[in-house]
Amino acid sequence: MAQAAGDAASASMGALMRTLAHERQVSLYRGGPTLEDMVREEMRPILKDWLDTNLPAMVERVVRAEIERVTQRAAG
């Protein structure tokens, strides 16, 4: 894992822990945010950044492999 990614994950987990500590002090109203909701919100920017960085290369690699597979089958 890159240092920046590790730092971002640590920062997000720290924010989550602070939120949880605060929520323990304040009674949640019925139907309030769940732990899953809080984690989802904390992970959203991390996942977006990862996808922005890695998805284009992954798609290109898969498309190239598929093109090669189809052309080899056609040459066959």
Q: How far apart are CA 18 and CA 6, in angstroms?
A: 18
Confidence at 41, pLDDT banded by 50, 70, 90: very high
**pLDDT per position as a tens digit, 3-14:** 777 777 777 777
Region of residue 18 (left: phi > 0; alpha: psi -120 to 50; beta: else): alpha
Residue 63, pLDDT > 90, answer yes
Confidence at 67, pLDDT banded by 50, 70, 90: very high
